[in-house]
């Protein structure tokens, strides 16, 4: 088992997929993959909310997003994704996308801004993308995050926990980092299973207590002794009381996805 030191940071904002492939038009294929890319490459996350029934949205798609220069700019300095509000109303509600088309950016320091509501021309949208990219480049990640390793599940193997419901210690020579958190594995086989679908095995919300996340908008790391499974996903809580509250109404705390970054966790364990 690795040596670990308790450290605390603070705040909230960022969700999961192994793929970081970008669509040919410059957009990431899913919200989760865009979040992962933003975290991995230290980029601002740009979300374009739209819907098929929205006239201005269709107009932007045909007149703006079909432009090659716009597509190229989408690949420079941002991790961009399109979100259909009719297919993901919870995410739209989380970012206040009540009217569309709408562009929202989440910077690496957790700052969230609505950049635009309504149709925007090619030149105007290009300018918007450049401004986001330029501002994003000036925002730095706290140095402590770069110089430390965040230990997931206190070094226990996430695959054995999910598949067998067993707390099995991982090995220092069998590790993988997912969204800024390093997990330890009991065998090469469990490590390979994790790498194929890390979001299936990693704790939800990077192990943040979902009760605190929803009620107080703070990313407080849960403790492994206060864990609970729901819909074959692991949730961690900062207290037994919060775990009980979750079990009484789990859908209340899981229906909205939260954007949590590793450097924003309070009470997380570091190496």
Exposed / middle / buried, residue 240 (Cβ in 10 Å: 0-12, 13-18, 19+): exposed
Place of tokens 């009484």: 248
What pLDDT digit, counting tens, does each position of 130-144 carry? 999 999 888 765 444
Q: pLDDT band for position 257 (50/70/90)?
A: low
Do 113 and 145 contact (CB within 8 A), yes or no?
A: no
* 224 backbone dihedrals φ, ψ, rounded to 5°: -65, -25
Q: pLDDT band for position 256 (50/70/90)?
A: low
Q: Where are the domains of the chain?
A: 43-138, 146-270
Which of these, 170, 261, 175, lies nearest to 213 by C-alpha position? 261
- Predicted local confidence at residue 127, as pLDDT: 93
- Predicted local confidence at residue 157, as pLDDT: 94
Question: Which one of 4-18, 190-204, 208-222 scores highest in mean pLDDT?
Answer: 190-204
Residue percentage of the chain with pLDDT more than 70: 82
Q: Tell me how far apart the alpha carbons of residues 257 and 191 are, in angstroms, rounded to a whole number.
A: 26
**At 123, which helix (H) or strand (E)?**
helix 122-138
What pLDDT digit, counting tens, does each position of 168-187 carry? 889 989 999 888 889 999 99
Q: What's the mean pLDDT in 242-271?
A: 70
pTM over 0.85, yes/no: no
- Predicted local confidence at residue 66, as pLDDT: 93
- Predicted local confidence at residue 166, as pLDDT: 87
* 143 backbone dihedrals φ, ψ, rounded to 5°: -60, -30
- Predicted local confidence at residue 150, as pLDDT: 81
Q: What's the mean pLDDT in 250-266?
A: 65
Fold of 43-138: Glutaredoxin (3.40.30)
What pLDDT digit, counting tens, does each position of 41-91 carry? 889 999 999 999 999 999 999 999 999 999 999 999 999 999 999 988 878
Q: Tell me how far apart the alpha carbons of residues 193 and 19 are, in angstroms, rounded to a whole number.
A: 15
What pLDDT digit, counting tens, does each position of 100-113 carry? 999 999 887 778 88
Place of tokens 């849960």: 222
């Amino acid at each position: 088992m690795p040596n670990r030191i308790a450290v605390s940071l603070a705040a909230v904002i960022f969700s999961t997929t192994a793929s970081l492939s970008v669509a040919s038009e410059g957009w990431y294929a899913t919200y989760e993959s865009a979040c992962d890319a933003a975290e991995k490459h230290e980029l601002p996350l740009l979300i374009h909310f739209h819907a098929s029934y929205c006239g201005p949205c269709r107009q932007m798609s045909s007149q703006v997003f079909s432009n090659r220069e716009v597509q190229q700019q989408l690949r420079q300095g941002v991790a961009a994704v399109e979100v259909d509000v009719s297919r993901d109303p919870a995410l739209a509600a989380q970012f206040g996308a009540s009217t569309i088309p709408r562009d929202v950016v989440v910077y690496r320091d957790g700052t969230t801004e609505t950049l635009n509501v309504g149709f925007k021309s090619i030149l105007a949208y290009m300018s918007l993308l450049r401004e986001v990219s330029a501002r994003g480049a000036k925002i730095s990640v706290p140095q402590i995050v770069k110089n430390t390793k965040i230990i997931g599940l206190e070094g226990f193997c996430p695959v054995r926990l999910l598949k067998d419901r067993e707390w099995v210690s991982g090995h220092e020579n069998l590790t993988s980092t997912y969204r800024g958190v390093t997990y330890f594995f009991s065998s090469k086989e469990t490590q390979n299973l994790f790498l194929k679908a890390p979001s299936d095995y990693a704790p939800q919300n990077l192990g943040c207590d979902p009760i605190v996340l929803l009620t107080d908008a703070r990313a407080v790391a849960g403790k492994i002794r206060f864990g609970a499974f729901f819909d074959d996903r692991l949730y961690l809580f900062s207290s037994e009381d919060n775990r009980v509250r979750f079990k009484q109404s789990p859908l209340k705390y899981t229906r909205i996805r939260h954007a949590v970054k590793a450097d924003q966790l309070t009470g997380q364990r570091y190496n």
